[in-house]
Structure 1
Amino acid sequence: MQKILIVGAGASGVYLSVLLKQKLYDCDVIVLEQNTAPLKKVLATGNGRCNLSNKDMSIDYYQSDNNQLVEEIISSFDMVQAMNDLGLYCIYQGNLLYPKSEQALSVKQILMQRAEELGVLFLYEQEVLKIEKGYPYIVKTNQQQLKADYVIFAMGSEAGRLSGTQLSRYQILRKLHLNVVEPRPALTQFFTQPVLKSLKGVRVKGTFTLLEKGKCVHQEKGELLFTDYGVSGIAIMQLSAFCKPLHDYELSIDFFDEEDAKKLYEYIELRRKKGYNHFYDGLLNSKISLYFEKQALNSTQEIVSMLKDFRLHITGLRSYESAQVMKGGLSLNELDHNLELKKYPHIYAIGEILNVIGLCGGYNLHFAFASASHVAKALEREWNVTNS
């Protein structure tokens, strides 16, 4: 009986274990997890509601070093059907797909129930330290040594600390002389200068632009949250995915994105002629109004510029503890079309350990499940040929 070891009990690893036990016969599937429980990151996804996918699965929402392969993987996977096959009923809310229960716990329970019914073995507090070349492979953990005919890397990243913080996940890959794109936080918050502590807790809807040397790098319409270190919010987290190391960026805030500059100018001009005390009251949140009053702007053009193009200097991104994902990881150039390592037959990689990130909106979970499905199909094809 052949043995398959999956390193990591996150979404991609657990889902793959279910698919392999369903599709293959005469095999043992063992999942090694360094935490004390599986699917910790899934439980935190979507503020506990678990945004699984999106109606708009354009490759434009992803960044990787092989977008052609990523596009094929994501477009060939039907999340609604896949979850229905497991027994999880899902619904769209706008473009976002959620479990009907709106509970990430439902996703965990269904995945683990199916895995346990099929006889998948889970071993916890198992940090994989090394994999020795050969056939079968020797997998060494902090607790034991196992032999495996197939190994699948599904160990996620250190983002949010929910997959564990040990950096051995990358060391394993480097020991195998594989190219690892240096991981860095993405989908996270900005440190800014100045830090507008007086606005802490204020939420703003508008259009937000990431600028480098005055030119637009990326733009997002949505919501921003002022904090005691800078800014947060979904729109900001989206923008963070487009930041590169050692680049100097600014954030431009358009508080009045529903009005063009010309119409806003005319409105502000009329408003000034009325001579209101506390001029900004009725235009903005009271805390923002007070902040703007203190700027003592003297012309309509200055006021319009402040409302349409309020600038903050971005001094950095918050660390991996606050990030939803890490940008970087195992280069897709190390893998063939089946996500099998070119240098090591029968070793595959899926999910967040790969150099693939999606924006907020269910894109990263969709790729996690889709990449697991992709590898399950590849192994099924190989299994059928080998055992025919």
Structure 2
Amino acid sequence: MKKIVIIGAGASGVYLSILLKQKNPCYEVIVLEQNKAPLKKLLATGNGRCNLSNQKMNSKYYQSDNQELVQSIIQDFDMVQQMQKIGLYCTYQGDLLYPKSEQALTVKNVFMQRSEEKGVIFAYDQEVTQIQKHKHQYLITTTSQQILADAIVLAMGSEAGKLSGMNHSRYDLLKQLQLKIIEPMPSLVQFYTSPAIKSLKGVRVKGTFSLIENQQCIHKEKGELLFTDYGVSGIAVMQLSSFYKKHHNYQLYIDFFDEISHNQLCQLLSNQTSLFLEGLINHKLAVYFQKYQHLSIEKLASLLKHYPLNIQGVREASYAQVMKGGLSLDNVTEDLELKQYPHIYAIGEILNVAGMCGGYNLHFALASACHVVEAIEREKYVKNS
């Protein structure tokens, strides 16, 4: 009997366990999880609705050090078909794919039910501290036991999100194995800004938002922004944060009137009554902008279409949806097998693959699990031939 140990009971690890047992019921599949329960982070995905994939699936929506490998993994994975195989019915809402129930809890329940039905063994409160070669196997040491494995899959995720388990031991483990690590940093996360306009806390703005450095536009997003007491949040901000790099000086430009031109906005402003900007924008914004009453209509229009905020940084990992960085794809073969360690694979967010908002990260997590199962199957047939 082949013993495969999966380190991490997140989406990629649990899904992998199902696929392994489907292909080979005789395999002993053990999932080690450092938390007290599986799939904790999945429950928060898509605000609890679990956005699984996107119609516009392409590697250009990911940041990685091997875009070609990412493309090869995501392109042939049909999320609707694959989820239906395990009893999860999904439907598209526009470009976004959700479970029919629109509940992440449903996804968790289906995943766990299928894995437990097939005899997957789960062990919780198991922080892995060391992996060593042991003859033709690997010896895994956790905080409470040692396990011999014929194959290992690293599916530890990252420390993004408050539900992920916020220790750094996953990176310590990679360093012990002398693997190349791209420095992890929060992505799909909020910005700290200067000023942080506390009087606008809770105000939502629809518009176009641009990440600017040295007067050059790095990226722009149309959507919604939320003012907070520390800076700004919202889906558009989360998307922009994926382009943020350390030690760069950025500004965020807000176009409050992206649906009309500068000249059209000037015309609107010239028709204003004595109530400054009331009727044009949110009341709290109108009050905030009263300090600019002295400006000419031309300058006021320019300000409303290019309102600048200095970006002081991104919020911490505990607030992020994903982390950029992690295990460099230079370490792995096309099968996601570690080049230095035969029969050790890596999947999901532990890899240096970070997608945009919109189901891209879950798609890669599950697609990479499927990719590794196919690689293990090929290896089995090569050995038996």
Q: TM-score, normalized by length of structure 1?
A: 0.97
Q: For residue 124 of structure 1, what is the amino acid of its counterpart?
A: Y
- Per the alignment, residue 291 of structure 2 pairs with 294
**1:322-333 alignment to 2 at 5 Å?**
322-333=319-330
1:267 aligns with 2:268: yes
Rounded to whole Å, the distance in 2 between the matches of 1:11 and 1:383 is 25
Q: Percent identity?
A: 61
1:347 aligns with 2:344: yes
1:315 aligns with 2:312: yes
String of CA shifts for 1:84-143, please: whole Å, max 9, x gaps.
001001011111100000100110011111101110000000000010124210000001
Rounded to whole Å, the distance in 2 between the matches of 1:318 and 1:167 is 18
Per-residue deviation at 1:278? Answer: 1.6
Rounded to whole Å, the distance in 1 between the matches of 2:153 and 2:65 is 20
**1:8-27 alignment to 2 at 5 Å?**
8-27=8-27
Contact 2:152 2:345 in 1 (8 A): yes
Contact 1:278 1:293 in 2 (8 A): no
- Per the alignment, residue 160 of structure 1 pairs with 161
Contact 1:192 1:230 in 2 (8 A): yes
- Per the alignment, residue 169 of structure 1 pairs with 170
- SS of the residue aligned with 2:57? coil
Rounded to whole Å, the distance in 2 between the matches of 1:166 and 1:263 is 53
Rounded to whole Å, the distance in 1 between the matches of 2:294 and 2:255 is 17
Q: TM-score, normalized by length of structure 2?
A: 0.98
Rounded to whole Å, the distance in 1 between the matches of 2:294 and 2:205 is 21
String of CA shifts for 1:244-290, please: whole Å, max 9, x gaps.
01100000000000012122223323x15xxx112200000000001
Per-residue deviation at 1:305? Answer: 1.1
Rounded to whole Å, the distance in 2 between the matches of 1:298 and 1:167 is 51
Contact 1:200 1:227 in 2 (8 A): yes
Structure 1 segments unaligned to the other structure (5+ residues): none
Q: For residue 209 of structure 1, what is the amino acid of its counterpart?
A: S
> After the TM superposition, which of the residue ranges 295-304 and 168-177 deviates more from structure 2?
295-304
- Per the alignment, residue 45 of structure 2 pairs with 45
1:124 aligns with 2:124: yes
- Per the alignment, residue 373 of structure 1 pairs with 370
Per-residue deviation at 1:22? Answer: 0.7
Contact 1:97 1:362 in 2 (8 A): yes
Q: 1:25/1:298 Cα in 2 relative to 1: closer, same or farther (>3 Å)? A: closer
- Per the alignment, residue 148 of structure 1 pairs with 149
Per-residue deviation at 1:385? Answer: 2.1
Rounded to whole Å, the distance in 1 between the matches of 2:319 and 2:83 is 28
Q: For residue 328 of structure 2, what is the amino acid of its counterpart?
A: S
Rounded to whole Å, the distance in 2 between the matches of 1:201 and 1:343 is 50
- Per the alignment, residue 111 of structure 1 pairs with 111
- SS of the residue aligned with 1:160? coil
- SS of the residue aligned with 1:155? coil
Rounded to whole Å, the distance in 2 between the matches of 1:142 and 1:225 is 42
Per-residue deviation at 1:166? Answer: 1.5
Rounded to whole Å, the distance in 1 between the matches of 2:224 and 2:267 is 26
Q: For residue 288 of structure 2, what is the amino acid of its counterpart?
A: Y
**1:178-217 alignment to 2 at 5 Å?**
178-217=179-218
- Per the alignment, residue 35 of structure 1 pairs with 35
- Per the alignment, residue 84 of structure 1 pairs with 84
Contact 1:31 1:120 in 2 (8 A): yes
String of CA shifts for 1:11-64, please: whole Å, max 9, x gaps.
000000000011125310000000011000110101110000001102211000
Rounded to whole Å, the distance in 1 between the matches of 2:110 and 2:60 is 31
Contact 1:261 1:308 in 2 (8 A): yes
**1:89-104 alignment to 2 at 5 Å?**
89-104=89-104
Per-residue deviation at 1:161? Answer: 2.9
Structure 2 segments unaligned to the other structure (5+ residues): none
Q: For residue 352 of structure 2, what is the amino acid of its counterpart?
A: N
Q: For residue 206 of structure 2, what is the amino acid of its counterpart?
A: K
Rounded to whole Å, the distance in 1 between the matches of 2:239 and 2:336 is 27
Contact 1:160 1:320 in 2 (8 A): yes
Contact 1:24 1:383 in 2 (8 A): no
After TM superposition, the runs of 4+ consecutive aligned structure 1 residues lying more than 6 A away are none
> After the TM superposition, which of the residue ranges 230-239 and 126-135 deviates more from structure 2?
126-135
RMSD: 0.9
Q: For residue 72 of structure 1, what is the amino acid of its counterpart?
A: S
1:240 aligns with 2:241: yes
- SS of the residue aligned with 2:74? helix
- SS of the residue aligned with 1:294? helix
Contact 2:9 2:156 in 1 (8 A): yes
- Per the alignment, residue 363 of structure 1 pairs with 360
- SS of the residue aligned with 2:375? helix
Q: For residue 234 of structure 1, what is the amino acid of its counterpart?
A: I
- SS of the residue aligned with 2:317? coil
Q: For residue 378 of structure 1, what is the amino acid of its counterpart?
A: A
Contact 2:269 2:277 in 1 (8 A): no
String of CA shifts for 1:305-342, please: whole Å, max 9, x gaps.
11100000000110001000011000001000000000
Contact 2:292 2:300 in 1 (8 A): no
Rounded to whole Å, the distance in 1 between the matches of 2:356 and 2:295 is 40
